[in-house]
Amino acid sequence: MVDNVRQIRERVPETEKITINLGYVDLGRIDLLVQEGFYSNRTDFIRTAIRNQLATHGSEVSRSIDRHMLELGLREFRAAELEAVRASGEKLHIKVVGLVRIAADVTPELALATIGSLTVLGALQANPEVKAALASRTS
């Protein structure tokens, strides 16, 4: 029976956990707003505050993305794509705001042969060996 079970798609979290430190007074104010029903919990308040700040600075973020020629969102690299890059003799200089995912089929050797630099403003998902190999090329 177990032989018939196969994983359809790798489950990847859509969020990244962060830790922040707040003063007691600010924390108390947030708790008061939660208690009064303005927000469902502290996380809801913090997410809303962050989204509001990003909306406030939306045009600046857009101009910066354009100026730095950054890709926005999810960018995934698989072995087949990187093999084509290697065959062309080129190196990638990756700049992403969001998530870069280097697939499990990419070896550290292939990553080093094809990725000249890697700038990620967000998160990088790759196996530990590939991350270690690219450490000196990552900013």
Residues 119, 69 within the same domain: yes
Per-residue pLDDT, 12: 61
Residue 3 lies in a domain: no
Residue 13 lies in a domain: no
Residues 30, 88 within the same domain: no
Query: Which range of residues forms the domain containing residue 28?
Result: 22-56
pLDDT tens per residue, range 17-60: 899 999 999 999 999 999 999 999 999 999 999 999 999 999 98
Give the ranges where the chain is alpha helix by DSSP (H).
Answer: 24-35, 42-56, 58-67, 79-88, 108-114, 128-134
**Beta carbons within 8 Å of 116's beta carbon, 6+ residues apart:** 91, 92, 93, 137
Residues 50, 68 within the same domain: no
DSSP states along 69-87: T-EEEEEEE-HHHHHHHHH
Is the pTM higher than 0.75? The answer reads: no
Residues 79, 132 within the same domain: yes
**Residue 124 C-alpha from the chain's centroid:** 5
Residue 79 lies in a domain: yes
